[in-house]
């Protein structure tokens, strides 16, 4: 019989009180246990309401210690519920047998890879945001509402160009992952599930859908045909 220690994490007190974040995680964990486990027992369940950047979370450490002591499997809904730090994930998978509900067949190498990709994405977003703010500052961009029709029209044209450029940059960042999975025969749904499972968000900060994956792949195809 397989023994499991289940760990949940939400980032804010509001999420913890509302149950919204926890509800989704519990749903995913239950789906994993129902569909991928035949004979199991849950020997412990722990929850933290804290940022994933803090590896010293009280209940997180308790979950690890119990799993290690009982030679049990540590189960989380998504990889970033354990940690958003690739070094912490690497340490964790060396300490215990880690399973991620949304990636039921992922091995230790794949979990490490997904953690590394997610960390790269966060670093890129942070640098892109800082660069955009600095660029706007150097151009002397002023905050406030436009007062004339011409100003509104000009702002609309500029915003459209900026949005297109950002969308192209975002798509390009995902080119290797999306194109590789597509060429390997993965469906749009499978690609979307893989991106969601390891914590990637769309450009608007939402979870991926097959339609969203298709749109990015179309954009990448158009970029290849029209590099300028």
CATH of 2-109, one of 3.40.50.10440, 3.50.50.100, 3.20.20.70, 3.40.50.1390: 3.40.50.1390
* Percent of the chain whose predicted confidence (pLDDT) is above 90: 34
Is pLDDT at 128 greater than 80 in this prediction? Answer: no
Three-class DSSP category at 72: coil
Rounded to whole angstroms, the Cα distance separating 210 from 193 reads 9
The token duo for 22 is 């926890």
- Of 50-64, 126-140, 151-165, the least confident: 151-165
Is the entire prediction scored with pTM above 0.75?
no
CB atoms within 10 A of CB 165: 10
Domain positions in the chain? 2-109, 144-225
Is pLDDT at 96 greater than 50 in this prediction? Answer: yes
Average pLDDT, the chain: 82
Phi/psi of residue 25, nearest 5 degrees: -65, -40
Residue that wins the pLDDT comparison between 138 and 30: 30
pLDDT in tens, 172-199: 888 888 888 888 888 898 888 888 876 7
The token duo for 31 is 């789906």
């Amino acid at each position: 019989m397989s023994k499991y220690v289940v760990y949940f994490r939400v980032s804010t007190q509001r999420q913890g009180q509302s149950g919204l974040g926890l509800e989704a995680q519990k749903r995913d964990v239950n789906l994993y246990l129902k569909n991928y486990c035949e004979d199991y027992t849950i020997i412990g369940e722990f929850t933290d309401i804290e940022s994933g950047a803090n590896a010293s979370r009280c209940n997180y450490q308790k979950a690890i210690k119990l799993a290690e002591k009982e030679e049990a499997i540590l189960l989380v809904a998504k990889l970033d519920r354990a940690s958003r730090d690739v070094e912490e994930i690497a340490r964790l998978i060396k300490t215990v047998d880690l399973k991620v509900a949304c990636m039921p067949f992922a091995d230790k190498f794949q979990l490490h890879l997904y953690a590394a990709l997610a960390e790269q994405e966060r670093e890129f977003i942070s640098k892109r945001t800082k660069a955009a703010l600095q660029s706007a500052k150097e151009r002397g961009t002023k905050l406030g509402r436009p007062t004339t029709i011409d100003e509104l029209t000009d702002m609309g044209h500029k915003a459209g160009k900026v949005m297109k450029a950002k969308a192209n940059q975002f798509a390009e960042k995902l080119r290797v992952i999306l194109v590789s999975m597509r060429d390997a025969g993965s469906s749009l749904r499978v690609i979307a599930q893989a991106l969601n499972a390891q914590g990637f968000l769309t450009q608007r900060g939402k979870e991926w859908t097959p339609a969203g994956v298709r749109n990015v792949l179309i954009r990448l195809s158009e970029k290849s045909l029209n590099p300028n």
